[in-house]
Amino acid sequence: MAGQSKLEKLPPWGSAVAGSAGAVLANALVYPLDIVKTRLQVQVKRNPSSLDTNPADDEHYSSTIDAISKIVKADGLSGLYAGLPGSLLGVASTNFAYFYWYTVVRTLYLQYRALNTPPGTAAELSLGAVAGAIAQLFTIPVAVVTTRQQTVSKHERKGLIATGQEVVDSEDGWTGLWRGLKASLVLVVNPAITYGAYQRLKENLFPGKTNLKPWEAFALGAMSKALATIATQPLIVAKVGLQSKPPPARNGKPFKTFGEVMAYIVEHEGPLGLFKGIGPQILKGLLVQGFLMMTKERIELIFILLFRYFRQVRAEKLQKLADYAAEKAGKGGPVLVK
């Protein structure tokens, strides 16, 4: 059994590649929902008596379907995929970093505590938060650039590098690429809640089961993401406000803190404004997290089978060499050791 458990354990890079690949595939499939939820979250009222409008096209989006219809009318189908390369780059890098560091810190924690059982819920959430914080430090510039691409009009939209340069030139220099870092660090509780809930649900609903069926992984991923999204939606909305262009009523003055964004939204739209865009946000989260965990489980299983195959081939090769050496030794002939 010890040998089997060793085979079932992936190195950190294996979990990172599996999680990153799953995230890229899942986000590519539902990317139009990402555009819609970002546009809904960034539109704000010019004054308390007016409708909230969107900086990208000065339109008011009343729902997900309305947003999709108006974006396609204004920019064509390609408008639903604005900023896709940068977004997928950000998704790949963030998830690779997250799953890598999550595996590392979780392994170190188990070794330090000498535990043979899974960590408790509080420890699981803390480990996820540490991994998420480390990942955000390295990957937030891509998120800043992608959000900017998604929230400007078609005529203002530039490429990934050009948009990054615009952020550097027009705001606080290079530190502008880390705008919203504090909000992002606070938001590490989102993946922490997501993966903590996923681990706990997996252990409670499927005790002792190493590899889940695709539908099982999808269902657990969707449920865990829904819980995390509802708990952190106001912070998600504030982060988008920090990373996008300021609303017209601020005359180009950017927000400095996510507290300032939240206060502005409550003043102009009321407390429920902090939950705008939650429909597509949850739908996107359900689909992305479901596909992500389903794909991650499959890729991890493929890696495990590949590792098992290569170890078996290596063992057979070593056995053949041992048999050959034994045969030579039995005949009294010289055995050449290379």
Cβ–Cβ < 8 Å for 34, 287 = no
- Domain with 201 in it: what CATH number? 1.50.40.10
Cβ burial of 214 (10 Å; 0-12, 13-18, 19+) is: middle
- Which residues share a beta bridge with 45? 52
pLDDT tens for the chain, 338 residues long, are 333 344 456 677 777 888 788 888 888 888 898 888 888 888 766 655 666 666 666 778 888 888 899 888 888 888 888 888 888 888 888 888 888 888 888 888 888 877 667 777 677 778 877 887 888 887 888 888 888 887 777 777 787 788 888 878 776 677 778 877 777 777 777 777 887 788 788 888 888 777 778 888 888 888 888 888 888 888 888 888 887 777 777 777 778 787 888 888 888 888 888 888 888 888 887 787 778 777 777 887 887 788 788 888 888 888 888 877 777 676 655 545 44
Report pLDDT for 82.
Answer: 84
- Which residues share a beta bridge with 53? 44
Which stretch of DSSP H or E encloses residue 143? helix 121-150
133 within domain boundaries: yes
Report pLDDT for 13.
Answer: 78
- Distance between CA atoms of 260 and 157, rounded to whole angstroms? 26
Report pLDDT for 9.
Answer: 65
Report pLDDT for 115.
Answer: 66
In whole angstroms, what separates CA 257 from the centre of its chain?
Answer: 23
14 within domain boundaries: yes
2 within domain boundaries: no
Give the count of domains, the chain: 1
Report pLDDT for 116.
Answer: 67
Domain that residue 267 falls in: 9-306
316 within domain boundaries: no
32 within domain boundaries: yes
Report pLDDT for 54.
Answer: 67
86 within domain boundaries: yes
